[in-house]
Amino acid sequence: MSASEGLSIGALARRTGLAVSAIRYYETQGLIAPWRNAGGQRRYQRADLRRLSFVMIAQQLGLTLPEIREVLAGLPGNRTPTRADWTRISTGLRDRLNQRIATLERLRDNLDGCIGCGCLSLPNCALYNPADRAGSKGPGPRLVLDETGDL
C-alpha cells in the first residue's frame, strides 16, 4: 500500500464516509474512474477524495447523479485537477446554492404572509411557480384558486 499505489476502495470509503458499494455505483454512473492494479483491484488518487466530496455536496443541493457528472465533466479526467479547475467548478456550485437559498427565502416570506393572515392563502406563494422548483420539471403551473378566489 505504498504511496505510489494509490488508495484502495476501502480506504476511500473510510475517508469519505461513503459505502464501498456506493463508490462502485458512482463508477458505473461515470462519476469516478479509478485505475486497476495488477490484481484487478481499484486504485484511487488523492484527487478522487475531492471528487467524491464534491459529489456529496452537490447531492445535498439536489443535483442528480447525471447532473453532477455533467458538472464534473469540466474536470480533466487524465490530469490531476488544478486549483483553478476546482475553483471554477465550486463557484458554479455556489451559484446554485445561492439560488436555492433565495428560493427558500422567498418561500419563507410568502409563508410568513400566509401565516400573518391566517388563511394559508397559497395562491400568492412563489411555490406554485414551476420555475422555482428544484428540477423545474413539474406537471405545469400549480393553481389552488377556484373561481371564487378563495381556497
Partner DNA sequence: ATAATTTCTAAACCTAACTTTAGGTCAAGG
Partner DNA sequence: CCTTGACCTAAAGTTAGGTTTAGAAATTAT
Residues that bind a copy of itself (CB under 8 A): 15-17, 19, 46, 49-50, 53-54, 56-57, 60, 83-84, 86-87, 90-91, 93-94, 97-98, 100-101, 104-105, 107-108, 111-112, 114-115, 118-120, 122, 125, 127-128, 133-134, 138-146, 151
Q: Is 49 in the site for DNA (CB under 7 A)?
A: no
Antiparallel, parallel or unpaired: β 35-36 and 42-43: antiparallel
120 binds, among a copy of itself, DNA, none (CB under 5 to 8 A by kind): a copy of itself
Q: Which of 84, 20, 33, 31 is nearest to 54 (CA)?
A: 31
Instruction: List the alpha helices (DSSP H) in 3-147.
Output: 9-16, 20-28, 47-60, 65-72, 83-117
Nearer to DNA, 24 or 96 (CB): 24
Nearest approach, Cβ of 123 to a copy of itself (angstroms)?
Answer: 9
State the DSSP code for 131: G
Could you give the 3-state DSSP secondary structure of residue 36?
A: strand
Q: Is 37 in the site for DNA (CB under 7 A)?
A: yes
Tell me which stretch binds DNA (CB under 7 A): 6-14, 88-96, 109-117, 126-134: 6-14
Burial class (CB in 10 A: 0-12, 13-18, 19+), 36: exposed
Nearer to a copy of itself, 39 or 95 (CB): 95
